[in-house]
Amino acid sequence: MLKLALAVSLSLAAAKRPYTVQDQVNLRRLLAVASSPDGTQLVLTVRDTDYTANRGRTDLWLVQADGSNLRQLTAHPEADSDPVWAPDGKSIFFLSGRTGTSQVFRLSLEGGEPTAVTSSPLDVNAFVLSRDGKSLAFAADVFLDCDLDCTQKKLDEKAKSKASGRLYDSLFVRHWDTWGDGRRSHLFVQAVAGGPAKDVMKKMNADAPSKPFGGSEEFTFSPDGKQLVFTARDVGREEAWSTDMDLFAAPVDSSAPPKKLTTANRATDTSPVFSPDGKTLAYLAMKRPGYESDQLWIRLRDWASGQERELAWGSSPDLLKWSTDGKTLYASAWDDGQAKLFAVDPATAKATALIASGHVAGLAVTAQALFAVHDSLLGPAELVTLPLAGGPVKTLTALNAAAMKDVQLGETEQFSFPGWNGETVKGYLVKPVGFDAKKKYPLAFLIHGGPQGSFGNDWHYRWNPQVYAGHGYVAVMIDFHGSTGYGQGFTDSIRGDWGGKPLEDLQKGLAYVLKQYPFVDGNRACALGGSFGGYMVNWIAGQWPDAFKCLVNHDGNLDEAMAYYDTEELWFPEWEHGGTPWEQHMGYAKHNPVDHVAKWKAPMLVIHGAKDYRVVETQGIATFTALQRRGIPSKLLEFPDENHWVLKPQNSVLWHETVLGWLDQWTAPKK
């Protein structure tokens, strides 16, 4: 019987197929979770792919706290997202584009169709609910001298004009992937029962939430519902080079202008969240102006007196929630290649890791348990739970069970080695599907962006090493100096040294892999990177020209000096290179790939999005021009409808097929 069972097991394993990019674009994605007030139910935001329409669509799902009775709540062709429970637990508020514009809707769990709560002529971009459920605050883009209706009227008049010119008198003429049109994201408050929406930021020349990625985590009602606390960067003409985001408090009736709460700090203050008893405001704060990747510290503000104190916890959290009894703060933070979930004692700052592996991307807190959106290198996000009374982490959902049941993933392994100056550097290796230790495999050497980022133990939809493992490659990712999750000093060390420590770490990391893992064929290796990783590919081309059979550069800079003038968020290059190019010329020239094009020789695939305003398209075209003029085998893949990322499903498939085809072309075994 044992032999028979083993034979069946081997047969089932052999029947499984490698993971592909087609799997990746069609996987169901769990994006967020929110718990009912009594903790018995959870509503999920789930994204499905409409491959034919070439887009994703989000819907709301409901599940019991024990994982039972998972069912879909909404199924509209337009997106339904960002659920918030009513205080009585009988209905759910959410954002939806089902009426042609994005509005807040309310869905009763007792039956019936969703009903609109807001009726703004403009898109509602984010919202929060007051504790008593009677008031709603939402964000919409308006002209400074206008309300919602006035703004729509101006937009209609603009649409009728045959003149297309746009006139600017300050920076941020474009940001991320959008040209500015003079509007600002302002916060409006209205009664849930209906009535006028009042702009609590009237004439304030700032965005709340921040653009391009800020959301409802950046504003909240005070416990009594009389004020709105929000994050904004209100610094006038310095906006494009300042990271001075502050917390403001504004009366919900807009009877007075917003009051700045964090007057002393010239760096970032964000993510306000009140304790259950309403006495303490917790928020996240940086200390160094101009540095977007500085450590975030938890600060606690006594709401009555305004006195503050800091929790001296060493990690840098990016998510913050209170326990229902107010005795614990829960925070997620990158640590040692994992995005862990921590419990932090507000009295002592003692932090305990509750989920120590994988990637925690969302959290709901009840009196009985924690519920987290959790993924890893071995699978996409599912809902997991951790009882507060103790016990193991339990997975509650299997949203991709059917899609993944016949798919085999590559085995993963974290490793470490002595990098720059002998300091410990870590990385991950993913083995090819169907791995055989007696064989030699080509190498996909993936270089992360940021540079203050990480290729850690998480499931990625753009740079997923499992796609390469499924195609027969060993995938290796090095968290070089400058990466996050290994202490703030390690992250800070890349400043002014983009081409130094990181390159040495990559070189020593590759040498370690080739020595430690004899199944990796160093003669069939290709290096790939996006953003900073794309810059590093250009730097490698001139500084390490014989290391790789081919290179792939996605949205990477060729000329760091010119890139300063091309980009939009100027605080980033000014911090990284020590100032402006006219003040610190050598900071930009020290490790500038454009000065070493004469040494290039490795074939390179260049990829760029035309709507990328962070690393502009001409940087990619310039790279391709240099390659072609020097006679180096090269190709340019240009996406006219993508930004710094490739987001559309069919574009993602084309991206991966082109990249894998390029790798195959240059790393195929010699016949």
Which amino acid is residue 40, in one-letter code? T
Q: H or E stretch including 629?
A: helix 617-629
Question: Taking the C-alpha atoms of 267, 201, 237 and 574 in order, what is their torsion angle to the nearest 10 degrees?
Answer: 30
Scored b (16 or more CB within 10 A) or e, 108-136 reads ebeeeebeebbebebebbbbbbbbebebb
Which amino acid is residue 580, in one-letter code? T
From 335, 499, 515, 513, select the one nearest 420 (Cα to Cα): 499
Q: H or E stretch including 407?
A: strand 407-408
Catalytic-labelled residue, pool 359, 374, 591, 644: 644
Cα angle for residues 308, 314, 318 (degrees, 5° grid)? 75
From 559, 645, 659, select the one nearest 610 (Cα to Cα): 645
d(CA 576, CA 501): 14
Asked if 549 and 526 count as a contact pair (C-beta separation under 8 A), the reply is yes
Catalytic-labelled residue, pool 612, 634, 652, 656: 612
Which amino acid is residue 357, in one-letter code? S
Catalytic-labelled residue, pool 216, 531, 634, 652: 531
Asked if 359 and 458 count as a contact pair (C-beta separation under 8 A), the reply is yes
d(CA 96, CA 77): 10
From 235, 232, 141, 250, select the one nearest 185 (Cα to Cα): 141
- The token pair that represents 573 in the structure block: 């290059």
Q: Can 36 be counted among the known catalytic residues? A: no
Which amino acid is residue 646, in one-letter code? V
* Edge-first strand listing for the sheet containing 424-430: 412-418, 424-430, 474-479, 441-447, 520-530, 550-554, 604-609, 634-639
Q: Is 569 left (phi over 0), alpha (psi -120 to 50) or beta?
A: beta
- The token pair that represents 221 in the structure block: 């009602």
d(CA 251, CA 267): 25
Q: Can 253 be counted among the known catalytic residues? A: no
Q: Can 170 be counted among the known catalytic residues? A: no
* Edge-first strand listing for the sheet containing 115-116: 80-85, 91-96, 103-108, 115-116
Tally the C-alpha atoms within 13 A of residue 244's C-alpha that lie toward its C-beta: 16
d(CA 510, CA 527): 11
Which amino acid is residue 642, in one-letter code? E
Residue with tokens 């209609």: 156
Q: Is 290 left (phi over 0), alpha (psi -120 to 50) or beta?
A: left
Say how many residues make up the chain.
671
Distances (CA, A) of 489 to 294, 417, 455, 492, 588: 10, 18, 18, 5, 22
CB burial of residue 558 (10 Å; 0-12, 13-18, 19+): buried
Q: H or E stretch including 156?
A: helix 148-160
Annotated active-site positions, please? 531, 612, 644
